[in-house]
Amino acid sequence: MTATQEPLQQDDVSDVTHSELHDAIIVGAGAAGVGVAIALSHAGVENFLLIDRKEVGSSFESWPDETRFITPSFPSNSIGMLDLNSIAVGVSPAFSMRVEHPTGSEFAKHLQDLASFFELPLQENTDVKSIEKKDGIFHVVTDEGTFISNNVIWAAGEYQYPQMRGFTGSELCRHTSTVPNYGQLEGDDFLIIGGYESGFDAAYHLAKRGCKVHLFDKESPWNEESSDPSVSLSTFSFERMRDPTFEENVKLFAQTPIRSVTLNDGIYEVTTADFQTFQSKQQPLLASGFDGSHRFVSDFFEQRDDGFPLLSDRDESTIVPGMFLAGPSVRHGSLIFCFIFKYRQRFGIVAEAIASSIGIPTDEFIDAYRSWGMYLDDLSCCGQECLTC
């Protein structure tokens, strides 16, 4: 499945090549897929399969080499507070890796270690092409045949589905998710479109190299008053803004939507909505976010006004029972679960829903997961702003 294909169709026809009926199939072995798989195991569900088109943690593996986690890891588990970057009860990336802000590659290795430690049933190098539900059973059609299951947990993430649209000529730009290493990009002046975490990360590494950077955002994430890192920049990025090379080399353009990008005689020209023009020989970098994979399963969910799937209080589809969502696309009301420390709080909810549907008692599981902040069923506590003092 590629980002240019149409959404999955429920009426696709398929032949079953793997006849074992699973209790659950998880699509995607990133942080969400591995985390919810471990939660399923903890809840007592054994007959499930974790499918990935590549390998465990492959999105993290393809981050630019210099990019690091913005959320810090700290081994706080000993006092009952889970490490911010942990995806499982009892696990601390800080403790196992001895690093506070892991690189993507380090975190991919961490996920692979967890998959192996918890002996997760893996089906790697298997691309899910479509899904249909026939007679109450999900048929998951892949390039390695069709697998069947009573439930599907969609955890295919966002990173492999970059957003390339938005203005005329956006296809001339290069999305930051395709950059293997900022140090190896040729040139010494760059135009970056998008001023949230990925754009700031690119600007920081290029400025460190001594490159001049113009960074545009249609809003102004670095001026947001919110304490929610899903809305405002992270502390990590604010610190980076104060780095002398950043202050010297990066020029920020807030409230500056882009009208167009053109390429003539090897020169890229970026024109803003208010008709300022900027030129560079380097391909402009696009850091405008991700479409996300959820649109490929859009037939299975009602849509919210913002395009994200509408979920029940069990993170299940409201129209197709047994279809669940896990990961950064989870939304409830105004709450955005786009970081690991946010969306992991729903792993227990999904695992409990599936375990109880097959008759497994879940009281102990709920108590344990709730005490670790991995079973968040009362959302009324969320969305509070920090005090300013």
Ligand X SMILES: Cc1cc2nc3c(=O)[nH]c(=O)nc-3n(C[C@H](O)[C@H](O)[C@H](O)COP(=O)(O)OP(=O)(O)OC[C@H]3O[C@@H](n4cnc5c(N)ncnc54)[C@H](O)[C@@H]3O)c2cc1C
By CB under 6 A, name the binding residues for ligand X.
Answer: 1, 27-33, 51-54, 58-60, 63, 67, 69-71, 127-128, 155-157, 159-160, 197-198, 201, 293, 327-328, 339-340
Nearer to ligand X, 84 or 366 (CB): 84
Cβ 328 vs Cβ 345: under 8 Å: no
Nearer to ligand X, 199 or 284 (CB): 199
Min separation Cβ 273 and ligand X, Å: 26
Nearer to ligand X, 67 or 163 (CB): 67
* Nearest partner of 249 among 285, 177, 200, 289, judged by Cα: 200
Nearer to ligand X, 24 or 366 (CB): 24
Nearer to ligand X, 309 or 327 (CB): 327
Min separation Cβ 226 and ligand X, Å: 17
Nearer to ligand X, 307 or 361 (CB): 307
Nearer to ligand X, 59 or 249 (CB): 59
How large is the greatest C-alpha to C-alpha distance in the chain, in angstroms? Answer: 68
Q: What angle do CA 46, 48, 54 make, to 5 degrees?
A: 135
How many helices and strands (H and E) does the chain possess?
10, 19
Cβ 104 vs Cβ 98: under 8 Å: no
User: DSSP secondary structure string, 195-243?
Assistant: -SHHHHHHHHHHHHTT-EEEEE-SS-GGG-----TTTS--HHHHHHHTS
CB neighbours of residue 342 within 10 Å: 18
Which residues lie closer than 8 Å to 128 by C-beta, 6 or more apart? 1, 27, 51, 53, 140, 141, 142, 156
CB neighbours of residue 20 within 10 Å: 10
Min separation Cβ 373 and ligand X, Å: 14
Q: Is 323 helix (H, G, I), strand (E, B) or coil?
A: strand
- In order of 178, 193, 255, 279, 282, the CA distances from 266 in angstroms are 21, 19, 28, 10, 9
Min separation Cβ 235 and ligand X, Å: 11
Which residues lie closer than 8 Å to 256 by C-beta, 6 or more apart? 216, 217, 218, 272, 273, 274, 276
Min separation Cβ 31 and ligand X, Å: 4
Min separation Cβ 72 and ligand X, Å: 8
Question: What pairing do the DSSP bridges indicate for beta strands 285-286 and 258-264?
Answer: unpaired
Nearer to ligand X, 33 or 322 (CB): 33
Nearer to ligand X, 278 or 308 (CB): 308
Q: What angle do CA 22, 28, 30 make, to 5 degrees?
A: 130
Min separation Cβ 237 and ligand X, Å: 10
Min separation Cβ 132 and ligand X, Å: 15
Min separation Cβ 196 and ligand X, Å: 10
Min separation Cβ 202 and ligand X, Å: 9
Cβ 138 vs Cβ 148: under 8 Å: yes
Cβ 132 vs Cβ 121: under 8 Å: no
Cβ 41 vs Cβ 117: under 8 Å: no
Nearer to ligand X, 29 or 336 (CB): 29
